[in-house]
Amino acid sequence: MSDLARILREPPPPDPPAEERAWRLARAAYARRATPARRRRRDALLAAAVAVLALGLVGTLTPAGGTVIRLIDVRPDAPVPTPPRASRPVGRGATLPGGGRLLVLSGGWASVVRAGAAPQGLARADEATFSAFGHYVAVARGRRLTVYAVDGRRVWSLTEASRVRAIRWSPDGLRIAYRVGATLRLVDGNGEQPTTLGRATGATLAWRPGRAPVLAYLRAPDVLALTDVSTGADIARPRPPAATTTLAWTTDGRRLLAAGPHVLQVLSPSGIPLRRRRAPVGGELIGASFVPGTHRVALLTRRRGADVLAVEGRTVAFAPRLAAPVWSPDGDWLLAGAHGRPWRLVPAHPAAGTRPAAALALGERGVTVSGWCCRRRR
Amino acid sequence: VQAAQRGDAAAFEALFRRHWPMAHRAALLIIRDEHLAEDVAQEAFVAAAGALDRFDRRRPFAPWLRTIVARRAIDAARAVAVRREVGDEALGAIGATEPALERPDARLLAAVAALPLDQRAVIVLRHMLGMGAGEIARVLEVPRGTVNSRLRRGLDALRPALEEQAP
C-alpha cells in the first residue's frame, strides 16, 4: 500500500457523538425497511390504545394522574372558534409567487391564508409557527401551547407554569422548542414528553437545518449556546453580539447569523466567528436573515427615522417603519410590511428591480406574518 | 449482509460500525466540512438501509457503500462550491482550529485538502476507497481519460508532501 493510501485510510479520531447520531438515523431507516407497513400501523394503533388506557387508569386512580390529564388535554375533534373579524379573500386574485401559504397574526388571531382564498382562522394567539412541512401550526396563547392542523382541527394542547414564548418547530418536525420563563422547554411534535433543556433568555431560538437536532439559543445575554438536543451536549458556546435579538441559520445549516442592534456576526456550525459587521453610523440593526438557499444576508436597519431593508447592500424596501420581512420558500420574493400599510410582495433579485409586485390585503394594521410555507416540491 | 437483509438488526449494526469510519472519513476528505461530511455519511447509510433489499448479496458490501458515499459527497462538495460565499478568510478561521501541521502525515492530508475538488475527488476515490479508473469515471460521469489526467495532476501537486514521507 502506498504512503498516500495508508495515510488516507488511517482511522480518524473517534467521534462517538457523530457515530451515534448517524447510527440512530440508520437504525430508524433500517427499522422502516424491515417492518411491513401493515404491521407498523397495527403496532401504532395498539400502542396508542394501550397509552390511552394507561393514561385513563392513572388519571382516574391518582391525583397526580389527574394533573397530567389536565396538562396534556388531548382533544382532537374539539370545535374551533371562529375569528371575530369578517374573513375576506387575500390579495383579491393575486397569487403567491412560489406558492405555499402564509401564517398570519392579526387582531390577536392566528390564521392560515392562501392567496385568493378566505383565511382559515385557527385560534387566539400570541405567537404561531408552522411545522416543518406546513401541515400543522403550533400556537402559543398565555400559558398554553396548542397544535392545530391547517384545516383548523385541534390536535393536542398542553399548559405550562407560565407564559409560553419563542416557539420554534424543528426542521425534521420531531420537536418544538419554546421558552417558559427562564427555561428552555422541548416537546415532541405529537405533544409527548415535554422536557426542560436548560436555561434560556431572549425571544429568539433557531433550529439548525439538517439531520442532527441542533438548537441555537441565548442561554444568557452573553452566552450563545449551540446544543445537540438529542444528547443535551453543547457543540459550542460562543459570545454573541451585545443584546442579540436575531438568530438565523442558512438553509443548508452551514452558517449561523447572530445580530444585535449594533453588530451582526456570521458563525460556522462549530461557533467560529467568520464575519462581523457593524450597524451603519447613527443607525441600528433591527432585523437580519439569510436569503433562503444562499449565504447572502438581508439586513433591516433603522436610521434617521426610516427603516431600510437591503440584501447584500442593495435596498429592496424602505418605509418609516418596516416589520421583519418574510421570505418566500424559494428565496425569490419577500413580504415587506409597513405599519398602517398593506403588506407588499417585493422581488429579491437585482434584475427584478424594487417595484412591489402586488399588495396583499392582510389587514391594514397590527398584522404580523409569522411564516410562509412551504417550498413547492419538484 | 444476508442476516441484515433477513431483518437481523444486530447484523445491520455490525455493518454500520464496521463501515462508518471509512464513510465518514471519505466524506470529510472530499467535502472538507466536518458537519456537512457527517450529514453526507449519515445520508449514505440511510440510503443504504433503505435499499438493502435490492442489494445483490453475492457482491461485497463495501464497494457498494463507498459508491453511495462518493456520489453523495461529490454532489455535496459541488453544491458547496456553487453556493460558497464566505471566502478564504473563513477557511483561514477554520484552519486555525485544526491541529498544527507538524507531522508529515498531517502535511500530506493538508495538501490533499488543498487540491481542487476534481483532483481531490479522484485521489480520495482511487487511493482511499480503492476504486479503479473505470469505476471512478462512472461515479464522476466523466471519461476515463479525464480521470487519469486528474489523477496525474493531483499526484504531481502532492509530490512535495509525498517526498517527505519517503524514508
Residue B38 half-sphere exposure toward CB, CA atoms < 13 A: 20
Q: Confidence band (pLDDT; 50, 70, 90) for B59?
A: confident
Min Cα–Cα distance to chain A from B151, Å:
13
| Edge-to-edge strand list for the sheet holding A195-199 | A164-169, A175-180, A183-188, A195-199
> Do B97 and A272 contact (CB within 8 A), yes or no?
yes
Torsions phi, psi of A12, nearest 5?
Answer: -70, 160
What would the pLDDT profile of A345-366 be if each residue is shown by its tens digit?
Answer: 777 765 544 454 555 666 556 6
What would the pLDDT profile of A287-300 be if each residue is shown by its tens digit?
Answer: 899 988 888 888 89
Interchain CB distance below 8 Å, B24 and A19:
yes
Interchain CB distance below 8 Å, B53 and A11:
no
Q: Confidence band (pLDDT; 50, 70, 90) for A239?
A: very high
Q: Is the pLDDT of residue A93 over 50?
A: no
Q: Give the rounded percent of residues in chain A with a pLDDT score beyond 90.
A: 29
Q: Is the pLDDT of residue A112 over 70?
A: yes
Q: Which residues neighbour A271 within 8 Å (Cβ) at sequence distance 6 or greater?
A: A224, A226, A235, A236, A237, A238, A256
> Do A112 and A100 contact (CB within 8 A), yes or no?
no
Q: Confidence band (pLDDT; 50, 70, 90) for B165?
A: low
Q: Confidence band (pLDDT; 50, 70, 90) for A70?
A: very low
Nearest to A190 by CA among A135, A228, A110, A233: A135
Q: Confidence band (pLDDT; 50, 70, 90) for A73?
A: very low
Which residue matches cell numbers 427603516?
A: A307
Chain A residues lying within 8 Å of B46, measured CB to CB: 25-26, 29
Amino acid identity of A173? G
Nearest 10 degrees: CA dihedral of A63, A66, A71, A76?
A: 170
A–B: how many Cβ contacts below 8 A?
131
Q: Identify the pLDDT of residue B83.
A: 47
Cβ burial, residue A234 (10 Å; 0-12/13-18/19+): middle
Q: Is the pLDDT of residue B96 over 50?
A: no
Gyration radius of chain B over CA positions: 17
| Closest residue in B to A273 (Cα–Cα) | B93
- Lowest average pLDDT, out of A51-65, A181-195, A260-274, B145-159, goes to A51-65
Query: Is the bond leading into A373 cis (omega within 30 degrees of zero)?
Result: no
pTM of the model: 0.55
Interchain CB distance below 8 Å, B165 and A5:
no
Interchain CB distance below 8 Å, B127 and A4:
yes
Average pLDDT, chain B: 79
> Do A229 and A175 contact (CB within 8 A), yes or no?
yes
What pairs with residue A372 in β-bridges?
A102
Chain A residues lying within 8 Å of B19, measured CB to CB: none
Which of A8, A211, A275 is the best substitution to test chain B (most B C-beta atoms within 10 A)? Answer: A8
Which of A265, A268, A277 is the best substitution to test chain B (most B C-beta atoms within 10 A)? Answer: A268
Interchain CB distance below 8 Å, A7 and B49:
no
| Closest residue in B to A266 (Cα–Cα) | B86
Structure letter (DSSP) for residue B126: I
Nearest to A312 by CA among A371, A267, A270, A264: A264
